Amino acid sequence: MKRVCVSLVAGITAATGLLTIPTAPAQSATSVPNAGKGPAAAAAASAAKKIVGMSAPADLWGQRIKEVGSCGVEARRVFASLQSNGRSQSTLIEQAVDSGMMPVISYKVPDVETLNDGGYDSWLKATRTYLDSLDTPVTVTFWHEPYGDLDPADFRAGSQKFLDLVKSADIKVGPILNGWLLDNKVADFASFTSKSLLTQWDFVAVDSYQNGTAENPGTRLPARAIPLLATWLDNQGFPDKQIGIGEYNGFTGSAIKAAGEAVLSTPEVWFGLA
């Protein structure tokens, strides 16, 4: 979905402004909430400070930061294509780290069949080596919003490759799925997951957008994906799985602010990027 610049500016300002509300004690923007099970984990997640970040084209990043201010922007979405040296988008990743932001990195690959046949194993290992060298927490996802691009079985196999060869203590791995599937294609959403993957993933995230157009905004706001995803995870037996919103956007500042409020008020949510 193409971004709406005016709404983005108003919305991210509103969302980051919410961070001044004393809903939680201070915590490092790059720390990971307790992902354990049971009431204690839920209490810890509820008390944890949420990470609010931003997704914007690289050539507009500086402009967006000037428009909204850097205060409260604690994560940056990075889109990368896997490379043999493991350093895809290293400039953007290191800019995020140097700015005290957690990189939320989405990797695609030149050929999924080659990935699943082991042809990129050395690339994945090089990626882990590079990201670990940053000595700071990052999140990694394989092929964001795979619906319509990948066969679910290929996505699940590729996701397992990333878990096996990229995940480490500082590298949290999870999917960023199509949030709109939770509206009326839940079976399709589920097809990109499995019990095994849900157990291994550090988080489950979606991208979520308002339906309609700028001239005629729809009633399905980006915030809707958060309770839908939380309920879906509950029904799968993962009530304490950490949730992420890789990107949320709408046609008005109020729509994006509502999503920011949902990020901050939902105990399971770890990060949300406008």
Q: How far apart are CA 178 and CA 144, in angstroms?
A: 8
- What are φ and ψ of residue 47, in 5° steps? -80, -20
Question: What pTM, to 2 d.p., does this model score?
Answer: 0.84
Q: How far is CA 8 from CA 14, 182, 253, 254, in A?
A: 10, 23, 7, 10
Confidence tier at 94 by pLDDT (50, 70, 90): very high
Confidence tier at 252 by pLDDT (50, 70, 90): very high
- Mean pLDDT computed over 31-43: 42
The number of CA neighbours under 13 Å toward the Cβ of 235 is 10
Higher confidence at residue 254 or residue 23? 254
pLDDT value of residue 12: 52
List, in sequence order, every residue forming a beta bridge with 203; answer none if it has no partner: 242
pLDDT at 29 over 90: no
Q: How far is CA 2 from CA 8, 102, 148, 248, 250, in A?
A: 11, 23, 17, 11, 10
pLDDT at 214 over 70: yes
Comparing 8-12, 18-22, 69-73, 107-111, the range with the smallest average pLDDT is 18-22
Give residue limits of the domains in the chain.
Answer: 5-17+37-273
pLDDT value of residue 49: 72
CATH placement of domain 5-17+37-273: 3.20.20.80
